[in-house]
Amino acid sequence: MLKTIDALGDLRGKRVIVRADLNVPLDGTTITDDGRIRAAVPTLKRLLDAGAKVVVISHLGRPKGAPEEKYSLKPVVSRLGELLGTEVAFATDTVGDSARETVRSLDEGGIALLENLRFNPGETAKDEGERRVFAQALADMGDAYVSDGFGVVHRKQASVYELAQLLPSAAGELVLKEVESLRKVTDDPARPFVVVLGGAKVADKLAVIDNLLGKADRILIGGGMAYTFLKAKGYEVGQSLLDEEKVDTVREYMERAEKEGVELILPVDNVVAGEFSADAESTVVGADGIPADQEGMDIGPKTAELFASKIKDAATVFWNGPMGVFEFEKFAGGTKAVAQALADAEGYTVVGGGDSASAVRNLGFDESLFSHISTGGGASLELIEGKELPGIAILEEGTK
C-alpha cells in the first residue's frame, strides 16, 4: 500500500515539499498544453486548505545541470496561480538564497514554486552521493514530502527518490489515481482487453508488447513503429521510419501472438508523402504498396475504420502513441479516429500519457470522455511493462 497524505498528520504551519510534474510544452513562454498543471491542482489545494506552507518543485525540459532561460519554470507561475485562485511566489533558484528566503517568507496556506530542479546537476546525477547532497539541501527547507509527479516516478532522481528518504513522505492525489488506474489495466483487466500502440520508435514499446502478449486479447499497432512490423511481414516500407535491427524481434513477437491466440493487428493502408512537411502532397496506398520514394505519415482510412471496430466492444483499452504525425493537421486523421473510438467505447479507457495525452487535448476532445488520461508517458509504459518504479517503491508502507 502507498502511504497517503493522511499519514502525515496535522500539516498546519508545516512546510510541505511537493514534487509535481509541471514539465509542460512551451512555445517561447506560452504554455501550449496545461494538462500537467491542472493535474497537480487537487493535491496542492488539499495541502493549502490544510494550512500547510506548500513548496512546489519540478523540472521542465532537459537542461544540462545549469540554468537556461528557455527552460525556466517562470511561465508556469501565473497559470498555476490562476488554477489555484491564489498568488504563487517564485524562487529564481533551486536551493540557493532565493529559494530559502522564499520558503522562509511563506505564511500558512501560502505556496511557492522553486526554479527548475534540473538547473542543479545533483538532480539527475548518476552518483547517489551527489543526488543525496542535493536532496538534503531540498529537505532542509521542508518538514514533509509529497510525491505527486507521476511523470518522473520511474526515475531515480534526487527529488523523486532520495528526498522521499529524508523527510516523512506520502503519495499525492495524482500519483494514487495514476497507480490505481493503470493497475486496473495490468492486474486483472476486464475483457476483451485491447492495447493500441503507436509513436515513432518500436524499441520503446517492445517490452510493453512482450509483457502484454500473455494478457491482451488484441494489440493494434500504428504510428511510425508499425513500419518495422510491416517490414517483418516482407512489405516494402519506402522511406518510412524503420528500426532494421528490430525486424527479427518483431517477427518473433508476431509468431508468438499467433501461438498465444492474441490478435496482432497491423495497418492495411497508409497515408504516404514524398516529404515530411505539413502541406506535403499525400496519397493513400495499401500497406503492401508503399512506393520506394514515399514515407508513411499516418494510418489510412481503412485502417482507422478497422482499429475503431476492434476497440468498439472492448471492456478495457490502453492506448499509448499517436497513429501518425498528428502535429500536422493533414496527418492527424488516424490519431483522431482512435481517440474517437476510445471516447465512444463503453469500457474502461486509459490514454497512456505523452504524445497521446497531448493529441487528445490538442484535437479538441473532452477529457471526461476517457476513464483516465495519464500524465506520464514513460512512467505509464514502465508500469504496464511490469517494472518496479523507484519513486513508487519508496512510498510503499514499510519504507521511510
C-alpha 303/C-alpha 307 separation (Å) is 6
Percent of the chain at pLDDT > 90 equals 88
Dihedral sign from CA coordinates of 295, 301, 306, 311:
positive
β-strand pairing of 193-197 with 30-31: unpaired
Same domain as 374, residue 254? yes
**The predicted structure's pLDDT at residue 399:** 59
Percent of the chain at pLDDT > 70 equals 99
383 is in an annotated binding site: no
Last residue of a domain, one of 145, 176, 207: 176
Where is 171: in which H helix or E strand?
A: strand 169-171
154 is in an annotated binding site: no
Contact 224, 204 (CB under 8 A): no
Catalytic residue among 201, 233, 312, 361: 201
Catalytic residue among 3, 14, 15, 36: 36
**The predicted structure's pLDDT at residue 376:** 87
Phi and psi, residue 193, nearest 5°: -105, 115
Categorise residue 109: left if φ over 0, alpha if ψ from -120 to 50, beta otherwise: left
23 is in an annotated binding site: yes
pLDDT in tens, 192-211: 999 999 998 888 889 899 99
Does this model's pTM top 0.75? My answer is yes
**The predicted structure's pLDDT at residue 113:** 98
Q: What is the mean pLDDT of the chain?
A: 95
**The predicted structure's pLDDT at residue 226:** 97
Residue 201 resides in a domain: yes
Residue 122 resides in a domain: yes
C-alpha 149/C-alpha 164 separation (Å) is 13
The 3-state DSSP class for residue 211 equals helix
Residue 15 annotated to the active site: no
Q: Tell me the one-letter amino acid at 400.
A: K
**The predicted structure's pLDDT at residue 398:** 60
Greatest extent of the chain over all pairs of C-alpha atoms, in Å: 67
Residue 398 resides in a domain: no
* Structural domain for 253, as ranges: 188-385
pLDDT tops 60 at residue 41: yes
Residue 391 resides in a domain: no
Same domain as 208, residue 141? no
Residue 397 resides in a domain: no
The confidence band for 1, taking pLDDT boundaries of 50, 70 and 90, is: confident
pLDDT tops 90 at residue 377: no
Q: 12 vs 381, which has greater pLDDT?
A: 12
Please confirm whether the linkage preceding 267 is cis (ω < 30° from 0).
Answer: no
**The predicted structure's pLDDT at residue 214:** 84
Same domain as 205, residue 129? no
Same domain as 115, residue 195? no
The CATH code of the domain that includes 363 is: 3.40.50.1260
Phi and psi, residue 170, nearest 5°: -155, 160
19 is in an annotated binding site: no
Same domain as 341, residue 319? yes
104 is in an annotated binding site: no
Residue 36 annotated to the active site: yes
pLDDT in tens, 94-149: 999 999 999 999 999 999 999 999 999 999 999 999 999 999 999 999 999 999 99
Contact 231, 242 (CB under 8 A): yes
pLDDT in tens, 60-85: 999 999 999 999 999 999 999 999 99
Same domain as 170, residue 228? no
Q: What single DSSP character describes residue 399?
A: B
Last residue of a domain, one of 146, 176, 206: 176
Same domain as 106, residue 197? no
Same domain as 57, residue 125? yes
pLDDT in tens, 305-347: 999 999 999 999 999 999 999 999 999 999 999 999 999 999 9
Contact 19, 148 (CB under 8 A): yes
C-alpha 206/C-alpha 187 separation (Å) is 19
Contact 57, 20 (CB under 8 A): yes
pLDDT in tens, 169-197: 999 999 999 999 999 998 889 999 999 99
Contact 370, 346 (CB under 8 A): no
Residue 201 annotated to the active site: yes
C-alpha 38/C-alpha 395 separation (Å) is 23
pLDDT in tens, 272-299: 999 999 999 999 999 999 999 999 999 9
Same domain as 125, residue 12? yes
The 3-state DSSP class for residue 210 equals helix
Same domain as 196, residue 171? no
C-alpha 398/C-alpha 43 separation (Å) is 23
User: How would you label 158-181 residue by residue, b for 16+ Cβ within 10 Å and e otherwise?
Assistant: bbbbbbbebbbbbbbbbbbbbbeb
**The predicted structure's pLDDT at residue 128:** 96
The 3-state DSSP class for residue 30 equals strand
108 is in an annotated binding site: no
Q: How many domains does the chain have?
A: 2
355 is in an annotated binding site: yes
Same domain as 235, residue 99? no
395 is in an annotated binding site: no
Number of H-type helices and E-type strands within the chain: 14, 17
Residue 191 annotated to the active site: no
21 is in an annotated binding site: yes
Residue 322 resides in a domain: yes
Q: 138 vs 375, which has greater pLDDT?
A: 138
22 is in an annotated binding site: yes
354 is in an annotated binding site: yes
Where is 112: in which H helix or E strand?
A: strand 111-113
Catalytic residue among 81, 96, 274, 378: 378
Same domain as 308, residue 170? no
Give the cell for residue 18: 511537493
In this structure, how many other beta carbons lie within 10 angstroms of the beta carbon of residue 351? 28
- DSSP-assigned states of every residue in 249-303: HHHHHHHHHHHHT-EEE--SEEEEESSSSTT--EEEEETT---TT-EEEEE-HHH
Last residue of a domain, one of 123, 148, 176: 176
Catalytic residue among 224, 354, 377, 391: 354
User: How would you label 267-284 residue by residue, b for 16+ Cβ within 10 Å and e otherwise?
Assistant: bbbbbbbeeeeeebebee
Q: Which residues pair with residue 351 across a beta bridge? A: 319, 373
Residue 394 resides in a domain: no
Give the cell for residue 349: 479507457
pLDDT in tens, 213-252: 989 999 999 999 999 999 999 999 999 999 999 999 999 9
**The predicted structure's pLDDT at residue 243:** 94
118 is in an annotated binding site: yes
